[in-house]
């Protein structure tokens, strides 16, 4: 399978999240909002500070950051998906010091910024190495870089995920979120940051658990976030209906057993320029 060019990868990710924006973080599953709050608690923006929020989605970390810095501060939230950006603007009408604009997380606007933060974003970037150098350049002296990324996950769902991925033709399967390089371990993450001029790195873990009312609720959540891409590939291959039936057999049993829930470990890393 030919590896897509970086710009193709970005366009693909942007399209998925733009199509998911209408229901993103709005189907009754407390996931991205919880993680955004945890990130802001650790980057700890203070009143009057300047915050750059990358890959902002619908504002899970940008909105609490804006409330933290107050009217004497400034928050700029960027995302490549225009519909996500519009969603942030709609929610920030009472926060005029929060600006939301279309922008590439690999190319941050000029600073200086006291905080640059990205929640569940950096592992999508094909040019992460160059992006880290740019974050260091736009941060104020002793400014903080904060990011969240995935640790261990609930392997009881591996069979469902495998069933979905194997129903997609091999040449259409999207790449999985990387668990290699900087995202393979805390040590690798800290080493990568040190190579790009960041020090005092600290990573803390927290666990996020979500439960679903029934199989339909699970499907609505999958359609509302990044895994939507898998379902779109099933649809394009003509295997969505068959795969849905086979997965529902598993989900129905889990529902009867009272195990229709999922958890993941999330890691939050904060480092200084």
Question: Has residue 162 been placed in a domain?
Answer: no
With respect to residue 144, please indicate whether it lies within any of the assigned structural domains.
yes
Measured CA to CA, the distance from residue 102 to residue 174 in angstroms comes to 24
Scan for tokens 């941050």, then name that residue: 108
CB atoms within 10 A of CB 97: 16
Is 202 domain-assigned?
yes
**Closest C-alpha to 135, from 155, 160, 114:** 114
Number of domain units in the chain: 1
Q: Which domain holds residue 137?
A: 6-155+177-211+262-272
Q: What is the pLDDT along the chain (273 residues), one digit of tens a residue?
A: 566 788 888 898 899 999 999 999 999 999 999 999 999 999 999 999 999 999 999 999 999 999 999 999 999 999 999 999 999 999 999 999 999 999 999 999 999 999 999 999 999 999 999 999 999 999 999 999 999 999 999 999 999 999 999 999 988 887 776 677 999 999 999 999 999 999 999 999 999 999 999 999 999 999 999 999 999 999 999 999 999 999 999 999 999 999 999 999 999 999 999
Residue 142 lies inside a defined structural domain of this protein? yes
- Could you tell me if residue 190 is inside a domain? yes
Token representation of residue 45: 């923006």
Residue 122 lies in a domain: yes
Q: Specify the long-range contacts of residues 189-195, CB closer than 8 Å, at least 24 apart.
A: 189/149, 189/267, 189/269, 190/269, 190/271, 192/132, 193/132, 193/145, 193/269, 193/271
Report the predicted TM-score, pTM, of the whole model to 2 decimal places.
0.94
The verdict on residue 163 lying in a domain is no
**Does 199 reside within a domain?**
yes
DSSP string, 32-54: HHHHHHHHHHHH---TT-EEEEE
Number of Cβ within a 10 Å radius of residue 155:
8
CATH assignment of the domain containing 80: 3.40.50.150
């Amino acid at each position: 399978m030919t590896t897509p060019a970086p710009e193709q990868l970005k366009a693909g990710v942007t399209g998925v999240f733009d199509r998911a924006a209408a229901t993103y973080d709005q189907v009754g599953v407390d996931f991205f909002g919880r993680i955004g709050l945890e990130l802001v608690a650790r980057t700890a923006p203070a009143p009057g500070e300047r915050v750059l929020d990358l890959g902002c989605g619908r504002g899970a970390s940008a909105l609490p950051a804006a409330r933290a810095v107050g009217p004497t501060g400034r928050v700029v939230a960027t995302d490549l998906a225009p519909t996500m950006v519009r969603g942030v603007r709609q929610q920030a009408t009472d926060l005029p010091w929060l600006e939301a604009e279309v922008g590439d997380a690999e190319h941050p606007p000029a600073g200086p910024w006291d905080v640059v933060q990205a929640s569940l974003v950096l592992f999508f970037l094909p040019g992460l190495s160059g992006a880290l150098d740019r974050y260091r350049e736009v941060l104020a002296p002793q400014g903080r870089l904060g990011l969240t990324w995935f640790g261990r996950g609930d392997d009881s769902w591996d069979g469902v995920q495998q069933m979905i991925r194997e129903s997609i033709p091999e040449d259409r399967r999207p790449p999985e979120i990387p668990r290699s390089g900087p995202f393979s371990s805390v040590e690798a993450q800290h080493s990568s940051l040190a190579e790009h001029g960041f020090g005092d790195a600290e990573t803390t873990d927290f666990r996020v658990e979500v439960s679903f009312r029934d199989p339909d609720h699970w499907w609505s959540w999958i359609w509302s976030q990044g895994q939507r891409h898998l379902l779109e590939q099933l649809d394009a291959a003509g295997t969505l209906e068959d795969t849905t039936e086979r997965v529902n057999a598993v989900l129905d049993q889990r529902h009867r057993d009272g195990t229709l829930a999922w958890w993941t470990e999330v890691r939050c890393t904060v480092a200084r320029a």
